Every structure is written in structure tokens, then in C-alpha cells.
């Protein structure tokens, strides 16, 4: 705790990154990742593996964009930097350790900004709420990247805003859930339907509080939003992430998240058919059986270079 506080006070970050809790969350992530290193290892490996696997499906390997690059825990940076001409790491804030890591690769560039468009909407007095829909996302290189990865940030996008709106604008839980739904929907829709290149969406989707093997509570992290379907299912994956083994969050109970990785290839109709036929038996097993018995500074708010 003291080490986290020290890191907080000694890390230079813009006011907004502090005020909306981004810095605190990044530091909490760093320290939890260290405490839970063994439990997180399979999740991190799955993320890194699928990011590389899908990179190798890209017909062209010029530009790669990682949204929510965070601390690069789940990002196989060297593998990407050796495949693509340029790799953009996009986040609302890049910690000094990430800046140092990026500098090791001549073709890795940092873009700093808000990918939801909400900060810009606030500035234009169009903050999302009961009578104002969430703005369109601001995803750099959406229309020209060969590969774009949303790296486990989808369910983290709305929280900083909705917590702030609850305090400052009297948002109810329902108001917050609606904004979160819209922010996630617009982000996922952009990747599934507006990205020019291959898109990979990695996100946690459900949270389980466990008592041994039994699920005690189940939370839908997507607020009832359903991820867009992919043109073919053969490359999609799903796994469990032991995000907080006891006593990390609860003295007695483990917390687990279900993670989905969805691959949005740009296939011709013929390719779609062929892929479905070839992969019909290759899909990963469903988790349903197991759970059957239980629930710039974003200075101008635009990532640099967008
Ligand atoms: C769970 S972390 C992702 C971890 C990361 N993939 C890694 O490998 O370390 C979620 C990330 O999303 C970023 N993020 C949250 N809201 C954002 C926003 N509005 N715009 C850009 N990045 C955002 C956070 O700063 C954080 O780094």
C-alpha cells in the first residue's frame, strides 16, 4: 500500500489522469499483477499467444494498433515490433516503464489519449447521460491499420467517467450502466464493423465470486451488451482468468473473470464458408458446462496522430 502511494505521488501525470482515477488504476494494476503473478500467468500467456496468432493472419503487416496497451502485461511487444513496420500503443496514460520499453524499439510509437470520445464530448458540453448518447469513439488508425487489438480495456472504458458523473451529476446506477453499455457498444462496433484491417477484441465478460468450485455471485461485466458476432468462429477463444485469488479481494473467496477473444477478419463470402467448414470441429470447449449450476495527455482528447 505504501509502495503504491509512493508510486502515485512520484509519477508525473496530467491532472485529468489523476482526477479520473486512471493513474491510481494503473498503479493498482501493476502491484496486483506482481502479487498475483502466478495466477495471472495463464491469462497473460493466452493473451500474448492469440495476439501473435492473429497477427499472422493479417494479409499485410504494416501498421498495428494496440488499444489499452496499459503496462504491456498482455502485449507481446517484441513479437509485434518484429512483424509490423509500425506498432502504435494507445492509452490514456503511459507509465514511465512503458515509455522506456517502447524506446527499445525504433518502430513502436506511443499515442496518448481518450479512445471513447467522452472527454471531447464533455468539452463540447455534450457529456453522455440520460438525455445524451455516448459519443462516437476516437480510435486512431481505425481506417488504415492492418491489425487493431483492443487489449482488455473494453470493460474499463466507462468506469472513470461514470464514477465521476455519479459524484458530480448525481447519476444513478442505471444511468451509469446505460452510459457504460453505450461506450462498450460503440467501441466494439467500431472494431467489428468499421476497422479496415483485422481486429481482435480481448475482453473480460463475466465475473464470478467462487466458494471452492461453486459460484456464489455472477456479474455481467458487459451490462447485458452482447459482443458483435465474428465472420467465422474458428479463431475465437475463451478462457478463465484467476484475477483475484483469495485473499486478494476477499479473505475466503477467489474471484474469476471469463475472458473472450473475438477475431474480426475481413473475409470474402467464399472464405467465410470455407473457414466455417474447416473449423466446425475446432472450436474451443464452452465454459457453460462448468458453470451450469450457478451469474496527454489526452490533451485535445484525441490520441496523437489520429
Ligand atoms: C486492464 S488495463 C489493460 C492492461 C493492458 N492490456 C496490459 O497489457 O497491461 C485497461 C487499460 O485501458 C486504459 N484505458 C481506460 N480508459 C481509457 C480511455 N478512455 N482511453 C484510452 N485508454 C483507456 C487504461 O489506462 C488501462 O491501461
Tens of pLDDT, residues 205-229: 999 999 999 999 999 999 999 999 9
Q: Where are the domains of the chain?
A: 2-279
- In this prediction, residue 269 has a pLDDT band, given cuts at 50, 70 and 90, of confident
Q: Is the peptide bond before 244 cis (omega within 30 degrees of 0)?
A: no
> Among residues 114, 89, 102, which one has the least CA distance to residue 17?
114
Tens of pLDDT, residues 132-144: 999 999 999 999 9
As a whole number of Å, the end-to-end CA separation of the chain is 37
Tens of pLDDT, residues 201-210: 999 999 999 9
Mean pLDDT of 73-100: 98
Q: Ligand 1 centroid to 156 CA: how many Å?
A: 7
The answer to whether 179 and 130 have CB atoms below 8 angstroms apart is: no
Mean pLDDT of 131-160: 97
> Among residues 232, 245, 188, which one has the least CA distance to residue 68?
188
Tens of pLDDT, residues 48-86: 999 999 999 999 999 999 999 999 999 999 999 999 999
Nearest atom (ligand 1) to Cα of 115: 20
Mean pLDDT of 96-115: 98
Residue ranges lining ligand 1, Cβ < 6 Å: 22, 26, 29, 68-75, 91-93, 114-116, 151-153, 156-157
Tell me the CATH number for domain 2-279.
3.40.50
Cell for 14? Answer: 496530467
**Which residues, 6 or more positions from 196, have their beta carbon under 8 angstroms from its beta carbon?**
142, 143, 144, 145, 266
User: In this model, does residue 295 exceed pLDDT 70?
Assistant: no
Cell for 189? Answer: 462496433
Tens of pLDDT, residues 169-194: 999 999 999 999 999 999 999 999 99
User: In this model, does residue 293 exceed pLDDT 80?
Assistant: no
The answer to whether 210 and 253 have CB atoms below 8 angstroms apart is: yes
Q: Which has more confidence, 165 or 271?
A: 165
Q: Which has more confidence, 287 or 150?
A: 150
Mean of the per-residue pLDDT values for the chain?
90
- In this prediction, residue 292 has a pLDDT band, given cuts at 50, 70 and 90, of very low
Nearest atom (ligand 1) to Cα of 116: 19
Q: What are phi and psi of 134, to 5 degrees?
A: -60, 145
State residue 274's pLDDT score. 76
Q: Ligand 1 centroid to 152 CA: how many Å?
A: 7
State residue 286's pLDDT score. 37
Mean pLDDT of 289-302: 32
State residue 300's pLDDT score. 33
DSSP structure string for 222-260: TTTPPPPPPS-STT-EEEEEEEE-TTSSSSS-EEEEEEE
Which residues, listed in sequence order, are joined to residue 237 by a DSSP beta bridge?
261
- In this prediction, residue 285 has a pLDDT band, given cuts at 50, 70 and 90, of very low
DSSP 170: -
Out of 32, 44, 153, 191, give the residue to mutate to test ligand 1, the one with the largest number of ligand atoms within 8 Å of its CB: 153
Q: Ligand 1 centroid to 66 CA: how many Å?
A: 10
The answer to whether 80 and 51 have CB atoms below 8 angstroms apart is: yes
User: In this model, does residue 41 exceed pLDDT 50?
Assistant: yes
Look at residue 217 and give its three-state secondary structure. strand
What percentage of the chain has pLDDT greater than the value 70?
90
- In this prediction, residue 271 has a pLDDT band, given cuts at 50, 70 and 90, of confident
- In this prediction, residue 279 has a pLDDT band, given cuts at 50, 70 and 90, of low
Sign of CA dihedral 305, 51, 223, 16: negative
State residue 276's pLDDT score. 65
CA-CA distance, 174 to 162, in Å (whole number)?
A: 10
Out of 11, 67, 70, 77, give the residue to mutate to test ligand 1, the one with the largest number of ligand atoms within 8 Å of its CB: 70
CA-CA distance, 204 to 214, in Å (whole number)?
A: 20
User: In this model, does residue 231 exceed pLDDT 80?
Assistant: yes
Look at residue 221 and give its three-state secondary structure. coil
Nearest atom (ligand 1) to Cα of 157: 16
- In this prediction, residue 280 has a pLDDT band, given cuts at 50, 70 and 90, of low
Helix-then-strand count for the chain, H and E: 10, 8
User: In this model, does residue 303 exceed pLDDT 70?
Assistant: no
Q: Ligand 1 centroid to 25 CA: how many Å?
A: 9
Helices (H), 157-217: 159-169, 173-189
Amino acid at each position: 500500500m505504501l509502495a503504491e502511494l509512493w508510486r502515485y505521488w512520484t509519477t508525473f501525470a496530467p491532472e485529468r489522469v489523476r482526477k479520473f482515477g486512471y493513474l491510481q488504476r494503473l498503479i493498482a494494476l501493476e502491484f496486483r499483477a506482481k502479487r498475483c503473478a502466478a495466477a495471472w500467468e495463464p491469462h497473460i500467456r493466452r493473451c500474448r499467444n492469440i495476439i501473435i496468432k492473429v497477427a499472422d493472419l493479417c494479409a499485410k503487416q504494416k501498421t498495428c494498433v494496440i488499444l489499452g496497451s496499459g503496462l504491456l502485461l498482455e502485449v507481446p511487444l517484441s513479437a509485434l515490433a518484429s512483424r509490423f513496420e509500425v506498432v502504435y500503443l494507445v492509452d490514456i496514460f503511459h507509465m514511465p516503464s512503458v515509455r522506456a520499453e517502447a524506446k527499445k524499439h525504433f518502430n513502436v510509437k506511443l499515442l496518448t489519449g481518450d479512445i471513447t470520445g467522452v472527454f471531447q464530448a464533455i468539452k463540447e458540453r455534450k457529456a453522455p447521460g440520460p438525455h445524451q448518447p455516448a459519443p462516437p469513439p476516437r480510435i486512431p488508425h481505425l481506417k488504415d491499420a492492418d491489425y487493431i487489438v483492443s487489449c482488455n480495456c473494453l470493460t474499463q472504458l466507462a468506469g472513470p467517467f461514470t464514477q465521476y458523473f455519479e459524484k458530480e451529476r448525481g447519476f444513478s446506477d442505471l444511468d451509469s450502466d446505460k452510459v457504460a453499455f453505450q461506450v462498450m457498444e460503440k467501441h466494439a462496433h467500431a472494431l467489428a464493423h468499421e476497422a479496415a484491417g483485422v481486429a481482435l477484441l480481448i475482453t473480460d465478460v463475466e465475473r464470478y465470486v467462487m466458494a471452492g468450485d461453486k459460484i456464489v455471485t455472477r456479474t455481467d461485466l458487459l451490462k447485458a451488451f452482447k459482443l458483435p458476432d465474428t465472420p467465422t468462429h474458428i479463431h475465437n477463444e475463451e478462457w478463465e482468468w484467476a484475477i483475484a485469488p483469495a485473499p486478494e479481494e476477499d479473505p475466503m473467496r477467489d474471484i474469476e473473470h471469463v475472458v473472450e477473444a473475438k477475431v474480426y477478419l475481413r473475409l470474402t463470402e467464399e472464405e467465410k464458408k470455407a473457414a466455417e467448414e474447416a473449423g466446425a470441429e475446432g472450436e474451443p470447449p464452452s465454459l457453460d458446462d462448468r458453470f451450469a449450476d450457478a451469474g496527454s495527455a489526452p490533451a485535445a482528447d484525441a490520441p496523437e496522430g489520429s
